[in-house]
């Protein structure tokens, strides 16, 4: 059995705000929102992959903090691991450089206002619980 390929997602926070990124590609994902991040390359740690992906996708210098408990299946052979992260002091503001056309800093009350990718919904819910933010996806009510 082949080991799954880990995709790291960043729960990038600024105070009570969580950064969401709107996909611009591929076409079947375009217009939907996700936690920014990407694949862990061979020989790379998840934390190093998160730093690299945030630099490539958003042009920021970020620090991974801790992994959110859980693992969420994506299309085979990929699984999503989420890490909390923060911007380093002096980092430029995030910009949508690759694979995204918009970014939003969401307050807890706004988290479910965007159309998250289906596979990101449980990861976002777990991340909010991990961060101690009591916001429930209204679609689960």
Domain ranges for the chain: 5-135
Structure confidence at residue 25 (pLDDT): 87
Q: Which residues of 18-56 are buried (b: 16+ CB within 10 A; e: fewer)?
A: bbbbbbeeeeeeeeebbbbbbebeeeeebbebbbbbbee
* pLDDT digit string, tens, across residues 37-96: 999 999 999 999 999 999 999 999 999 999 999 999 998 999 999 999 999 999 999 999
Each as own residue / partner, the long-range contacts of residues 69-72 (CB below 8 Å, 24 or more positions apart, any chain) are 69/126, 69/130, 70/122, 70/123, 70/126, 72/119, 72/120, 72/122, 72/123, 72/126
| Token pair for 38 | 């990407």
Structure confidence at residue 127 (pLDDT): 94
Cα angle 96, 102, 103; round to 5: 80
Strands 5-14, 100-106: parallel, antiparallel or unpaired by DSSP? unpaired
Task: Say what the pTM is.
Answer: 0.91
- The class level of CATH for 5-135 reads alpha beta
* pLDDT digit string, tens, across residues 125-134: 999 999 987 6
């Amino acid at each position: 059995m082949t080991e799954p390929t880990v995709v790291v997602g960043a729960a990038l926070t600024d105070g009570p705000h969580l950064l969401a990124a709107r996909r611009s590609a591929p076409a079947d994902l375009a217009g939907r929102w996700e936690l920014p991040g990407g694949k862990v390359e061979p020989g790379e740690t998840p934390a190093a992959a998160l730093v690299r992906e945030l630099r490539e996708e958003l042009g920021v210098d970020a620090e991974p903090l801790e992994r959110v408990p859980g693992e969420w299946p994506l299309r085979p052979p990929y699984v999503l691991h989420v890490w909390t992260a923060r911007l380093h002091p002096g980092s430029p503001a995030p910009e949508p450089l690759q694979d995204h056309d918009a970014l939003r800093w969401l307050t807890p009350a706004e988290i479910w206002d965007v159309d998250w990718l289906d596979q990101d919904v449980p990861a976002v819910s777990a991340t909010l619980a991990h961060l101690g933010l009591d916001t429930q996806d209204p679609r689960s009510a």
